[in-house]
Structure 1
Amino acid sequence: MIKLGVIGTNWITQQFVEAIQTLQEYELTTVYSRKIETAEEFATRNGAKNTVTDLEQFFNSDDFDTVYIASPNSLHFEQAKLAVENGKNVIIEKPAFSNQRQMAQFQEILAAHPEVKFFEAARNIHTANFHAIEKQVNEMDTISGAEFTYSKYSSRYDKVLAGEEPNVFSLKYAGGALQDLGVYTVYDAVTLFGLPDEVAYFPKLVNTGVDGKGTAVLKYVEFVVTLNFSKMSNSEMTSEIAGLKDFIEIDDAGEITEVSYHNDESKRTVIGNKNLDNPMLEEAADFAKVILAPDDVDNQKLYRYWNQLSINVNKVLYNLRQDANIVFVNE
Structure 2
Amino acid sequence: MAVSTGQIVDVLRAAGEPTRLRILALLAHEELAVLELCRILDQSQPRVSRHLKLLAEAGLVERFPDGAWVFYRIVASGEARRLVDQVLAVIDPADPVLARDAERLHSVHGEREAEAGAYFERNAARWDEIRSLYVAEEDVERAIRQAAGPGPFRRLVDLGSGTGRMLTLLGPTAQQAVGLDLSQQMLNIARSHVGRAGLDHCELRHGDIFGTRLPGESADLVVVHQVLHYLNEPAAALREAARLVEPGGRLLIIDFAPHTLEYLREQHQHRRLGFSDAEIGRWLEEAGLSAVQTQALPPARDGGLTVKIWSAERAPLQERHAA
TM-score by length of 2: 0.32
Highest CA radius of gyration, 1 or 2? 2
Please state which structure has a larger fraction of its residues in helix. Answer: 2
TM-score by length of 1: 0.31
> Larger RCO: Structure 1 or Structure 2 (Cα < 8 Å, ≥ 6 residues apart)?
1
